[in-house]
Structure 1
């Protein structure tokens, strides 16, 4: 399986916290912007890549494996990959072929092999455990607000891509 090697990731840091608010006032949080999103993305991606390192899978291959695990047929999986990863159809087909060559998926309507199921389950479990450590103690209302804001940003970014 072809995996993209990456240089060791530098530890991402968040912008400096705001100065303490005067007594009796409400402290302000940093505004959501591209830099805050980018820094969070790179920190999370570095964690994700370390979780994947032992599997031999790239992130894109893990997304393709999950698409097959979710029961998508070849066309559905390729459509999912092009939409979510912003890659071309041919690149999506290559990802599925790489998984087949590695013995992780099989068949014209791809399904996971035992090895593929094991790899997908191990990564999904590791992601769930990590997500709990990263997000688990955040108030649910904050998580909902962040999810809505990021969904809006994603929608707008997709519209920008469609216009380019």
Structure 2
């Protein structure tokens, strides 16, 4: 009996992860979402997951061949947490990883920089998505500054930064997870 391989979505209840999971389910792919809370996405399997508890990694990675990777939120240097997960993912047979990074992060830079190298080290097929600010930030952090001061404050100095819709990020991630290498 052949076991259906899953696409694992870390951060499966988040801004991009939930959108990716819904698209993958609609495409007929086997989807496993990791989070600390149960998502409301019909057709996707849920596995409890905590970056700070390596005992939760095994159930997440079982029968997984592809992975959408969102590093732990709010952690300045996530590689000590994420690299052991990537090592285990490789041992479990994960072959493709799509990493959500950021436009302002160089592969030798802080935060996700070391993860750019790590995904290449542990799997043969990988992609690093580097979007700028999410359009959805207008609902939250930027909405108040727009309403109160008629301005958007970013870390771009005098430069301009494009905002991208999380649905567009999700569409690119789905293609990177599903499309075959040419």
TM-score range, shorter chain: under 0.3
Higher strand share: 2
Higher helix share: 1
TM-score, normalised relative to structure 2: 0.23
